[in-house]
Every structure is written in structure tokens, then in C-alpha cells.
Structure 1
Amino acid sequence: MSRWLCVLGLHLHLLLLLPAAGACPARCECSAPTRAVACELSRNRLRCLNPGDLAALPWLEELDLSDNVIAHLEPGAFAALSRLRVLRLRGNQLKLIPPGVFGRLDNLTLLDLSENRLVVLLDDTFQDLRSLRRLEVGDNDLVFIARRAFAGLLALEELTLERCNLTALSGESLGHLRGLGALRLRHLPVAALEDQNFEKLPGLLHLEIDHWPLLEEVAAGSLQGLNLTSLSVTHTNITAVPAAALRHQAHLACLDLSHNPISAVPRGSFRGLVRLRELHLAGALLAVVEPQAFAGLRQLRLLNLSSNLLSTLEENAFQSVHTLETLRLDGNPLACDCRLLWVAQRRKTLNFDGRLPACPSNDTYFATLTVRPEPATNRTPGDGRNVTQAAARSPLDLTAVLVSTAMGCITFLGVVLFCFLLLFLWSRGRGQHKNNFSVEYSFRKADGPVAAAGQGGARKFNMKMI
């Protein structure tokens, strides 16, 4: 092995299956029960790997050549390692992989080529890896993937393409991955999803599109032919919920549209997603959730609307969502009187994780609302929890009714006492005035001489106030 340890300096980790009669090699640790050998040759800076360099290790199962300076691999370099299951070439300087490099690796299940300098994936690069299940090709300089680059990967289940210079996806090259179950496409300068990108991937269940700054729209037919259970479109520039593209994804259980500049959720945006259990719309620019926005989500359990611009939420937005258990609203400028009691239908229990304030001034408070169903046999009042129960047939808040009644009674009693006080003060002041007074008058001339003569002129008499 000394001839391929070209320059001292890095780490090499080998996992071998110990032969029945073999002794433990030098600088290795052996386990008799599992018949396994772990060898560590530290401080190696490998630059080349030629055919025959590993011929003395036919029992090798795992080979880690990460973080070296390997720039070239010769065809047949791993031909002697027919038992190899894991091959890691991460963090080297590979620019091109010629066909035949991975010949005779019939048992390989994991291949990591990330963090190299690969520019092109040529036709038939992986044609001999019929048992490969996981392929990592991220953090390279890829600008082109040939039509038959993935030919032969009949058992591939997971593919990761990230941090490279691909400006378009080739539906023809991806079409060879008939058994692909998970596809992760991260940090790519791709501007559009085309109708034929994924149409030949009937087994794809998990699709992740993350950090595509040039993507502004998900076309209506871009997901055609897929039966996804998980879809993530995050950190892009799409400005609307891709309702047309989602319409036929009836098996979708988890949808993540977080961190996109989506300002509104129109009515019926998710109609048809009858199996959806999780919906994430966090970190967007949501300001409006229209009535019936979540109509049709019959099995929704978790709704994440955190870190948006929502100031109000209408009851109609959740009118048909009866299965919701967790609603995240932290990071929204919701009005303080928005207690969301209307979310609790059919004897739900509202559990506020975090303390809700009493609404003084115009301060903004953030809270997470968790709605969990409570068993009827376990519904005991006064159990000491921070729980508010809302009956389906009694929309009034009992506390508000009691407070309003008490305030009304106090006001009424105050008015009555004030009236009695005025009457008392008035009655006390009556004894300070005279009740008798004299009145003097004289008859007018019009009363005639008879009257004047008979009465003798002016008259006086006393009157008493009663």
C-alpha cells in the first residue's frame, strides 16, 4: 500500500471483513465476534489511485478517501473490491470520472462524490452500480449532465444535487432513475420547472427544492405523473401558492412552502389535498388568509404560519378544518384580542404554549396555539392547567359575561345611592327657612265705592308654606 500513499497528510478509514484464519493487521482494531477490522492510517495526502493499489484488500467493505487531494481515478481502480458497500470520495479534486472507474462494484450501496470539482457527468459513468441506493453529487462545479449519465442505477433510492452550476434539469437523464424515491435539489441556479422534468419518475415520493433564487413560478404541469407524499419548495421567489401544480397530488402528506414571498392564501388553494397532515408557510410575507383558504384539508394536523405579517385571522379560514391539533402563529403581529377560540370546535381544548396577555395598549405578543382533543372521561374542571375550554354550543365567554354583569350592577347601585344622597341633603335644608309670610294688598278702584267703603282700604293676611 505504500506506493499509493503519495504525500503524507490526511485521514484514511478502512472497514474490512476479517478472514476466518487471518490475523489482525498492524495499526488496526479487530473484533472477533463480528469478524470486522477497522484500520486507520492517519496523516495521508493521497493524490492518485491506480489499478492494483487495493488488490491486497479483497474483503474491504467500507472505504473512506475523503478530504484528500485525489485529482484522477483510473478505470479499474476499485476492481478488486467486489465486497465494497460504501465508498466516500468527498472533499477531493476530481474534475472528471471516466467510464469504468466503478467497474465490478456490484455490492456498492452508497457513493459520495460531493465537494469535488466535477464539471460534467458523462454517459454511463455509473452503469456498473446496479445495487447503488444513495448517490451524493453536491458541492461540485457541474454545468451539464449527459442523457445517459445515470443509466444503470436501477436500485437508486436517494439522489442529492446541490451547490452546482446547473441551469436546467434534464428530464431524460433523470428518467433512468425509475426506482428513485427521494430527490433533493438544493442551491441551484435553475429558473423554471418544466413539464417533463419528473414525468418518468413514478416512484418518487419525496421532492425537495431549496434555495432556487431564480425560480418564480411552479408550472401547472411540472409535477404531472408524480404521486408525492412530501414536497418542499423553500427559499425561492414564487409569489403565489402553486395551486394548479398541487391539484392532483392526492397522496401528499407534508407540504412546505416556507420562506417564499407569498403574500396571500386565496380560497381553495389546497383543495384536493385530502391526505395532507402538515402544512408549513413559515417565514413568508403572508398578510391575508382568505375565507375557506384551507378548505378540503380533511386530515390536517399541523399548520405553521409563524414569522409572517398576519394581523388578523378570520373564523371562515378554518371553518372546515376539524382535525387541526397544532397551529403555530409566533412571529405575527396578531391583535391582542385574537384568542382564536373559534378554532376549537367539537369539544377541542386550547392549550396556549406561552402566556397570553390581557391586551394593554398596542403592544404585540407572540404565542403558539396548540389544539388537542381531550377525552370525555378525562375532562375534569379546575385541574390547574392553563387551559380554556370552549363549548361548541356556547360561543360566549363566561368570564366576559360575569364581568359585564358585575360592572352593570355596580353602576346601577351607584346611581341609586347618589339619588338618595341628594334627597337627604334637600330634606336637611328645609328647616333653615321661614314657613310663614305676610301679604298686604289694597283694592283697585275698579272694585267700586261699595267695596272701598265696606272694607276700609288696604288689607293684610298671613300665608303658610306647606
Structure 2
Amino acid sequence: MCVEVAFWWAVCWRGLILWAVGLVSVADSLWPCPLRCDCYSEVLMVNCSWRHLASVPEGISGDSQRLDLSHNRLKALGRRQFSGLGQLRELDLSDNILTMIEVEAFLGLQNLLTLRMFRNRLKIITVGVFSGLPSLRLLDISENEILVFLDYTFRELAHLQQMEASENDLVFISQRAFVGLANLQELNIDRCNLTAIPTDALSQLSGLVRLRLKRLGITALPNNSFRRLGRLRELEVSHCPWLESLAGNSLFGLNLTSLTLSHCNLSTFPYAALHHLVYLRYLDLSYNPITSIQGKLLGDLLRLQELHLVGGSLLQVELLAFHGLAYLRLLNISSNQLVTLEEGVFHSVGNLEVLRLDENPLACDCRLLWVMRRRLRLDFDANPPTCNAPIQVQGRSFQDFTESEMPGLFTCRPPRILSRKPQEVRVEEGHTVPLLCKADGDPIPSISWLSPKHTKLSPTGRIRILPDGSLEVRYAQVHDSGTYLCVVSNAAGNDTFPVSLRVRGFPSSGRNRSASYFLDGWSLVTAPTAVNGSSQQTKPYPFDAKTLVIAVTMGFLSFLSSVAICFVFMLFWSQSKGQIKHTATIDFVPRSSGGGGGGGGGAEPSKFTMKLI
């Protein structure tokens, strides 16, 4: 009985299947399909790819929603090329040899959502080509030969959300090229010939959320490079080998949550450009020649959760480098030159979940003991770090050590100043003098110096710390006198040593009368100014009273001598002219009162005497 029921059930099931196949066959026969194409009525799709077509085939059903014309030999698209296909949602024209698209070629495709035209030979897109595409959401024009985006090229695409424009020959993007793309959320520009950020063009994209600029020829990010992009959340600028610097306000106005600046040529951590990004959660600075992460400069990135700096040139992560980053849970600094990573660089290691330290020349000593103690809770992402030193543990993975081994292997030796013989250095004013301080320890201790005013000295300035740890006082001044303190420290502790400096002033220069005492021309002073010249010194008057009296007297005598010489010269000159006459007599002939012009007659000469005064 059961066998008989099963038999009739199989017969009925087979009949249903044949009936369904018959209905599909009838439907396929009623749905028109172009020659050399495959049509699938159940999904309303027409597949004409890989058919060596040189033109768009005729006879495509007006009900079609997907049309695939990829991998053919289409060279041009004429005006209203797809009229009658108003229900089309997806159109794929990729991998053809398109060189020209006429204006309004897509007119009538009012429901089209996706248009793919990648890997063609387009050199320019004429304004008006995208007319009639009010619903388009995705446009892919990557891997063409486009040289320039002209003004208003995309203005008809009011609802476009994503544009792929990578791997073109772009040399210029016009200022109004993106006008009309108010709803664009994602823009990808990769591998082109742009040498500067198209700031003016990008400022038209007020709704942009994700921006990727890769493999460009830019050399710097100037101030306000991304102005008016207040909604931008993800920015990637990568594979730009000539990008060496970021201006302090280059990212001003952005509220990013994700920032990637990788495979560039940044040699320093861009603190100034990043400090205002208080919503940043993801930061990737991998493959840049950054050598150091300084302390207390990242505290403004309050919400940072992931930091990647892979494949750089990191030599040091200073203490308190991640101070303020309370939510940091992933740190990837693999493939650098780090010798150690101390617990003190973190705000707190309690939230740290993933730590990548592999491919670094790590010294396994007390500085890395905190990693060993947390190695069962930390995720090394299947790449546990290995020891490079000391020699007895070289090459061993952190996972290989047992609990009993760690106290004896991960140790440090406190620093010790080698020579503790009291030093009192004396030097005359104007000379340069070194103050020596040598120490040893494991790890090698760092050396710093404190001035007599207990201020920390730096490697720059007139009084500076040299690379070997000694302190150099150049052109010593009297107010440099005092006791300097050498401080050596490593992870195991510290040691100090005082060095006294006495500077003798020149007798003519005048001594500082505020000095504590004077002894045989040597003085120790307590000047109110900073030792390293950070504040101005009070300069004495350049001349004393005795010098001024001598100078005035000599000048007065010179003046009197000059006057006397002049009088003597005038005296001798006057004597050489003979007797001086004090009166003079002048003869004259008065003119006749008569008119005539004659010279003559009858007028007698007259005379008068004039006294010279």
C-alpha cells in the first residue's frame, strides 16, 4: 500500500514539474530576445556580453531591467541610443572600445540606477551626455583615458551616490565639474595625473561621506584642502610617494571618523593637522618614514580606537605617547625598528585587545615584561613578537616562554655613573667648556641635564646636551656659573651627579654686583635669568666714569689745539701783507648839470676820505 502511494506521489510531482517548465517555455517564447543574446524572463535580464557586437542590438524588450553589453566592440553611442527601455535598472557597457558618446545618448532611461562604462577609451565626456538619468545611483567611468572633467559634466545626476573615476589620465578637474552632485556620498579617484588636490571642485560635494584619493602626484596638503566637506567621515590619501608634509590646517573643517595617510613620504607624525579630529576612531599612517611618536601630543584624539603604523622607520615610542587615548584597543606597529615598547606609553593597557609588535628588533628585558604578563589576554593576530636580544633568547617567540623563566630573563640593570669624582670646572669668560657625564646600565640609560635653576636643558641652544651625553657651555658667561646636575635613567631606575662650573669675568667688563661672593676673581652668581638664555640678560652700561672723563678731556684738548693753530696761521698771513691802512682817499669828478654829452669843460675834480673799520 505504501509503495503504491509513493508511486502515485512521484507521478504527480513529475507532472507539476513538467507543467512549470512548460509555462516558462511559453513565457520565454512570448518575451522577445535579440539575436546573439541570451534572455532570462524570470529576472528580466538580457545578456549580450562576449558576442563581438559593434552596435547595440535591436529587439530588446521594453520590460528589461538588466542589460549586459560588456566585452564587445562598441565604439560609439548615438543620441537616444536606448529609447524604449524605460524600465531598465542596470546597464553594463564595460570592456568595449567606446571613444565617443553623443549628447543625450541615455535619454529615456529615467529608472536606470547603475551605469558601468569602465575599461573603455573615452578621452572626454561632453556636457549633456548624462541627460535623462535622474535616478542614477552608481556611475563607474574608471580605467578610461579621460583627461579633464569639464564644468557641469555631471549636473543632471542629482541623485548619484557613488562615482568611480579611478585610473584615468586626469590632469585637471574644473571648478564646477561636480556641480549638481549634492547627494554624492562616495568618490574614488585613483592613479591619475593630478598634482594637487582639486579643492574648489570638491567643495561642491557638500554631501560627500567617503573620499579616496590614491596614487596621485601631489607633494603637499595645503591649508583648507577639503573645505566645505562637513559631512565627510572617511578620507584616504594613499600611495602618494611625493607627499611629504601636511599643513597645520590642511584637514580643518573635517569631522572624520576614519583617516588613512599610508604609502606616502611623511617623516614626522602630523600632530598639528590631526589634533582637532576629536571624533577620529581609525588612523592609518603605515608605510611612511616616521621615526618617532612623541609624548603627550595625541591626547586630543579622545575617541581613537585603532592606530596602524606598519612598515615605517619607528625607532622610539616615547613615554606618554598615547596619553589621553583611553579607548585605544588596537595598535599595529609591526615591521619597524623598535627595540622596546614600554607600558608607560599608554594611557591604560586595560582596553588594549590587539597588539602587533612582530618584525621589530625587540630587546627582551624588563621593559617588555608587561607584554609577557598579558600575553594570554592580548591578541597578536597570529603573529607573536620574537626576541632579537639578548643573545640567550634571540629568535624565541613570546609564546614560548614559561612563567618560571620570565623573572630571570626579562630583567634590567639600573644605571650607574662611572666616575663619581667631584668635578669643579673653572673657565674664563668667552670660552667653551664641556661638562662630562658617563654612565652604563642595561638597557643603555638616557642622559639629561638640569641647570643651576633646576630647568631641563635641551640639545639646542648656547648650553646644549651633546649626543654623547656631555653638556657643552659655549661662550661661557659669568651668570652661567653654578652647579649642573647630570641625570641618567633607564627602566630600572636613575642616578645623578653634580658638576660645578665657575666662570671668571674680565676685569674691564664689570662684575655683577648681585653675586653671592667674590673670590680671587672667580664668581658664582645667582642671576634671575634662565641659564640657557631663555630670558633677556640685564646689560651693564658700556663705559665707566673714568673712561668718560678721559674721553671728554682728550676731545676738548683736540678742539683747543685746532683753534690755536688757526689763529697762528692767520697772524702770520696778515704780517706777510705789510702795514695795514685804516683810511682811504678817493678822487672823483662831479657830473655837469647841463645836458650835453661832452666830456668837458670846466668841472674840477673833488676828493673825500673814508675810514676803514
1:92-241 alignment runs, 5 A limit: 92-241=120-269
Shift of 1:355: 8.5
Match of 1:71 in 2: 99
Shift of 1:351: 5.9
Once the two structures are overlaid, the 10-residue window that deviates more, 57-66 or 292-301, is: 57-66
- In the superposition, relative to structure 1, how do residues 136 and 214 fare at CA in structure 2: closer, same or farther (>3 Å)? same
Could you report, residue by residue, the CA deviation over 1:28-61 in whole angstroms, capped at 9, with x for unpaired residues?
33243xx522322422211110013222422221
Which residue among 41, 44, 51 is the counterpart of 1:36?
44
**Residue segments in structure 1 that go unaligned for 5+ positions in a row:** 1-18, 370-385, 389-396, 404-466
Q: Is the 8 A contact 2:362 2:388 kept in 1?
A: no
SS in 2 for 1:240: coil
Could you report, residue by residue, the CA deviation over 1:119-140 in whole angstroms, capped at 9, with x for unpaired residues?
1100000000011001111111
1:184-333 alignment runs, 5 A limit: 184-333=212-361
- In the superposition, relative to structure 1, how do residues 269 and 108 fare at CA in structure 2: closer, same or farther (>3 Å)? same
Match of 1:58 in 2: 86
Could you report, residue by residue, the CA deviation over 1:145-184 in whole angstroms, capped at 9, with x for unpaired residues?
1110000001100001111111112322111100000000
Could you report, residue by residue, the CA deviation over 1:355-378 in whole angstroms, capped at 9, with x for unpaired residues?
867977367538589xxxxxxxxx
- In the superposition, relative to structure 1, how do residues 77 and 347 fare at CA in structure 2: closer, same or farther (>3 Å)? closer
1:393-412 alignment runs, 5 A limit: none
**Residue segments in structure 2 that go unaligned for 5+ positions in a row:** 1-26, 53-71, 410-613
1:285-434 alignment runs, 5 A limit: 285-337=313-365, 340-343=368-371, 349-350=377-378, 353=382, 354=384, 361=391, 364-365=394-395
Shift of 1:318: 2.3
What is the identity, as a one-letter code, of the residue corresponding to 1:324?
L
SS in 1 for 2:362: coil
Q: Distance in 2 between matches of 1:328 and 1:173?
A: 40
Match of 1:393 in 2: none
Q: Distance in 2 between matches of 1:63 and 1:361?
A: 64
- In the superposition, relative to structure 1, how do residues 216 and 203 fare at CA in structure 2: closer, same or farther (>3 Å)? same
Shift of 1:84: 1.1
SS in 2 for 1:234: coil
SS in 1 for 2:345: helix
Higher RCO (C-alpha under 8 Å, 6+ residues apart): 1
SS in 2 for 1:303: strand
Shift of 1:343: 4.8
Shift of 1:104: 1.2
- In the superposition, relative to structure 1, how do residues 288 and 70 fare at CA in structure 2: closer, same or farther (>3 Å)? same
What is the aligned length?
A: 359
Q: Distance in 1 between matches of 2:375 and 2:332?
A: 22
SS in 2 for 1:212: coil
Q: Is the 8 A contact 2:170 2:193 kept in 1?
A: yes
SS in 2 for 1:123: coil
Give TM-score, length-normalised by structure 1: 0.71
Q: Distance in 2 between matches of 1:402 and 1:334?
A: 17
Shift of 1:270: 1.7
Give TM-score, length-normalised by structure 2: 0.55
Q: Is the 8 A contact 2:343 2:349 kept in 1?
A: no
Q: Is the 8 A contact 1:158 1:180 kept in 2?
A: yes
- In the superposition, relative to structure 1, how do residues 367 and 139 fare at CA in structure 2: closer, same or farther (>3 Å)? farther
Once the two structures are overlaid, the 10-residue window that deviates more, 57-66 or 288-297, is: 57-66
Q: Distance in 1 between matches of 2:271 and 2:385?
A: 36
Match of 1:25 in 2: 33
Q: Distance in 2 between matches of 1:357 and 1:308?
A: 14
Q: Is the 8 A contact 2:261 2:284 kept in 1?
A: yes
Q: Distance in 2 between matches of 1:47 and 1:270?
A: 54
Could you report, residue by residue, the CA deviation over 1:367-412 in whole angstroms, capped at 9, with x for unpaired residues?
589xxxxxxxxxxxxxxxx898xxxxxxxx7656699xxxxxxxxx
Q: Distance in 2 between matches of 1:40 and 1:234?
A: 41
- In the superposition, relative to structure 1, how do residues 142 and 317 fare at CA in structure 2: closer, same or farther (>3 Å)? same
Q: Is the 8 A contact 1:24 1:30 kept in 2?
A: no
- In the superposition, relative to structure 1, how do residues 116 and 327 fare at CA in structure 2: closer, same or farther (>3 Å)? same
- In the superposition, relative to structure 1, how do residues 265 and 358 fare at CA in structure 2: closer, same or farther (>3 Å)? closer
Q: Is the 8 A contact 2:388 2:394 kept in 1?
A: no
Q: Is the 8 A contact 1:64 1:88 kept in 2?
A: yes
CA RMSD between the two structures: 2.9
Q: Is the 8 A contact 2:262 2:287 kept in 1?
A: yes
What is the identity, as a one-letter code, of the residue corresponding to 1:262?
I
Q: Distance in 1 between matches of 2:136 and 2:398?
A: 46
Q: Distance in 1 between matches of 2:211 and 2:273?
A: 18
Match of 1:15 in 2: none
SS in 1 for 2:48: strand
Once the two structures are overlaid, the 10-residue window that deviates more, 162-171 or 174-183, is: 162-171
Match of 1:438 in 2: none
Q: Is the 8 A contact 1:330 1:366 kept in 2?
A: no
What is the identity, as a one-letter code, of the residue corresponding to 1:88?
R
Q: Distance in 2 between matches of 1:368 and 1:200?
A: 49
Match of 1:428 in 2: none
- Identical-pair percentage: 45
What is the identity, as a one-letter code, of the residue corresponding to 1:39?
N
Q: Distance in 2 between matches of 1:80 and 1:366?
A: 69
